[in-house]
Amino acid sequence: MSHPEAADRLVVYSDYVCPFCYLGRQSLERYRETREDPLVLDWHPFDLRSGKRNDDGSIDQSAEDGKGEQYYRQARENVRRLQEKYDVEMAQEIATDVDSLRAQVASYYVKSEHPDDWLDFDEAIFEALWQDGRDIGDADVLADLAEGAGLDTDEIRNAIADDDLREELQDRSAEAQRRGVTGVPTFAYDGHAARGAVPPEQLERLVDGDR
């Protein structure tokens, strides 16, 4: 991922397990294709399951998150609507059985240590889950995706197993919540923000003015 000195920088808070984050990235790519000037994507982690995690990072399945059958029915309907709007095929509409924490940790590590390779890895994670239906919580799957992005697989496995790195990522996610990020995807630019898988024209207004 290149970082041109003169490029605009769009911050995006997202979680790989969020279908609207994947759909929002499809919208973002459409907007980026219309721009003459580069637009750098600056990803910040936001763990949707943070309120249900035990100290070791595992999910407490008994924890109540207020998301019942009606919530998921509406979510599926919204996903289908956006799939049609953006002409995007997906292997699944939601992924409640997938834990994205390992994927977030791996991505956070790559963004810090191998920034030029981050975007390829990031997109591979999204595509693995939403296009291929793979379990991005599986270390073997993440190692395979890392290899495809030209990264060292042992390095990625070590990052995934690093408790300090996981705690650092969770601190960053908590920091995002303190800044007022309440859901994902959230796109932020120059003190303004747009939440959700918003259309390309709304991203254009966010970045280029006329908000």
Provide the pLDDT confidence category of residue 63 given band limits of 50, 70 and 90: confident
CATH hierarchy code of domain 8-55+67-208:
3.40.30.10
State pLDDT tens for residues 154-207: 999 999 999 999 999 999 999 999 999 999 999 999 999 999 999 999 999 999
Question: How far is it, in rounded angstroms, from Cα 149 to Cα 152?
Answer: 9
Residue 11's alpha-carbon distances to 39, 50, 97, 140, 166, in angstroms, are: 10, 20, 28, 29, 21
Give tens-digit pLDDT for 135-146. 999 999 999 999
Is 115's pLDDT higher than 70?
A: yes
The secondary element (H helix, E strand) that includes residue 156 is helix 153-160
Residues 109 and 142: beta-carbon distance below 8 Å = no
Query: What predicted TM-score, i.e. pTM, was given to this entire model?
Result: 0.93
Tell me the per-residue pLDDT of 9-20, one tens digit each, with 9 for 90 and over: 999 999 999 999
Task: Please give the share of the chain, as a percent, with pLDDT higher than 90.
Answer: 88
> At residue 2, does pLDDT exceed 70?
no
Average pLDDT for 31-46: 93
Distance CA 186, CA 194 (A): 6
- DSSP one-letter code for 44: E
pLDDT at 7: 59
Task: Tell me the average pLDDT of the chain.
Answer: 93
Q: What percent of the chain has pLDDT over 70?
A: 96
Domain extent listing, the chain: 8-55+67-208
143 token code pair: 């190692």
